[in-house]
Amino acid sequence: MRAQVAIIGGGPSGLLLSHILDLNGIGSIVLERKSKAYVLERIRAGVLEAGTVELLRQYGLGARMDREGHVHDGIRIKWPGYDTFLIDGHRFTGKTMMAYGQTQITEDLYSARETAGGHIVEEAEDVALHDLKSGRPYVTFLKEGKTQRVDCDFIAGCDGFHGVSRQSIPADARRAYERVYPFGWLGIMSETPPLDDIIYAYSERGFALASQRGPKLSRYYVQCPTTDSPEDWSDERFWHELKARFPADTAAKIVTGPSIEKSIAPLRSFVSEPMQYGALYLAGDAAHIVPPTGAKGLNLAVSDVFYLSRALRAFYADRRSDLLEAYSETALRRVWNAVRLSWWLTTLLHVFPGEDPFPAKLRRNEFDYLTRSEHAQATLAEQFVGLPF
Ligand code: RFL
Ligand code: PHB
């Protein structure tokens, strides 16, 4: 097979890249290790930055999002002893955010690719990248027991944190920067009406989050030890702990019911630099991970795809390679902003196991300052709603 761009991974990064390239007359093949059904079953992100919403609309992917998504001025923070605090993106930037699930975006992307006759290979096993520096790169994979080969001009590594693309860069040509946090998030989905607002709650028992996926679908999280497994958490225990972390009046409004999904995600900050090696360009979680506090991961995947698709378009339409050469540096500037913001919010809103009383005092003072300073609020709101691409 031959394609201008071979895309490894059919998550949001890979599918969006292939969609935008197609609209610019650039051909691609997407190689996805799992089945489409499996990819669509993963429950992940739920909050989109203003720039992500605009980009999805611009590429014809906004219709269902605008129908079913829920617009928010920002996310609220509940802190014991304080009035509810709104990270007010709208007030400070004029922009809003959208609650719309990654699952739905991925469905929209699959259907857009299928309508356009896009080439997606599901259940592609043993994907391997070859000759990245040769000027004639290619990818091999196993499908139904047969080895296949895709010759291409470029390879886009969109295969997430555990993918093969980043590992295909020689160890001495990349550097990783990492923080692993000493807790995870236990998340549940339940077919119950959500609260009106998306709320981060800080309490001495740890962090909790109330979010939503639709008028009758709620998503909730609680901070938990990394050693826990979902089996340790009955629904009853989950609801009890969730409510204990919210102020009593908010807890009273939470409608409980059976969970339809329950999983634990570890929290990590990770960046691999550079995001390019020869013909290989990394995008999304393949190059970087942020803890979910701040809701930046999917939005970063979208901004990477924006920069990479723009660079590939300039290459094919205008024979310009300057944007490709600048890709890693351009994308990383925005990545590090999200890494810093997500780290800061994680530190502000979580209780670190075994800590002495000093950090709790700092957190409280930081939050107190935030509630009193318009400058602090403006700084946070601007980055939370998302810096321009
Ligand atoms: P994905 O989604 O991991 O997709 C990668 C795809 O590559 C496939 N793959 C391979 N294919 C071929 N060969 C291989 N060797 C392969 N290895 C892997 C995988 O099967 C998969 O289909 O990465 P992508 O596309 O870069 O997208 C990134 C986002 O998924 C991620 O950043 C977000 O989900 C992070 N995130 C959030 N981001 C937000 O912007 N807002 C949020 O509110 C938000 N909440 C979250 C989150 C992530 C969470 N978890 C579970 C990590 C909440 C949670 C709980
Ligand atoms: C979600 O709705 O899943 C969600 C919302 C906000 C976050 C992370 C996840 O910071």
- 186 three-class SS: strand
The whole-number average pLDDT for the span 45-71 is 96
Q: How does DSSP classify residue 197?
A: S
212 CA closest ligand 2 atom index: 2
pLDDT tens per residue, range 130-161: 999 999 999 999 999 999 999 999 999 999 99
Determine whether the shortest distance from the Cβ of 7 to ligand 1 is under 6 A: no
Q: pLDDT band at residue 45, thresholds of 50, 70 and 90? A: confident
In the reported structure, the alpha carbon of residue 72 is separated from the centroid of ligand 2 by a whole-number distance in angstroms of 13
Among 48, 219, 300, 342, name the best residue to mutate to test ligand 2's pocket (greatest count of ligand atoms within 8 A of Cβ): 219
Q: For 78, list phi and psi in degrees, rounded to 5.
A: -105, 130
State pLDDT tens for residues 176-204.
Answer: 999 999 999 999 999 999 999 999 999 99
The residue whose C-alpha atom lies closest to atom 37 belonging to ligand 1 is: 45
Structural contact between residues 264 and 186, judged by C-beta atoms closer than 8 angstroms: yes
What is d(CA 348, CA 363) in angstroms, rounded to the nearest whole number? 5
- Inform me whether the pLDDT recorded for 230 exceeds 90: yes
Nearest CA, atom 44, ligand 1: 45
Residue from 102, 198, 290, 349 whose mutation best tests the ligand 2 pocket (most atoms within 8 A of CB):
198
pLDDT at residue number 367: 98
Question: Could you tell me if the CB of 285 is within 6 A of ligand 1?
Answer: yes
Contact in structure between 155 and 279 (CB atoms under 8 Å): yes
Distances (CA, A) of 151 to 4, 129, 140, 345: 8, 10, 9, 43
pTM of the shown model: 0.97
Q: How many CA atoms lie within 13 A of 323 on its CB side?
A: 17
**Probe residue for ligand 1, chosen from 49, 70, 102 as the CB with the greatest number of ligand atoms within 8 Å:** 102
Amino acid identity of residue 272, one-letter, is S
27 has a pLDDT exceeding 90: yes
Nearest to 73 by CA among 97, 49, 48: 97
Q: Which DSSP string corresponds to 77-91?
A: EE-TTS--EE--HHH
208 alpha carbon – ligand 1 mean position (Å):
22
353 Cα to the center of ligand 2, angstroms: 22
What is the reported pLDDT for 43? 83
Tokens standing for 378? 């403006």
The band of 389, judged by pLDDT with boundaries at 50, 70 and 90, is very high
Instruction: Dig out the tokens for 299 from the structure.
Output: 């939005």
pLDDT average, residue stretch 82-88: 97
Q: Which domains does the chain have, with CATH numbers?
A: 5-70+98-178+268-347 (3.50.50.60), 182-267+354-385 (3.30.9.10)
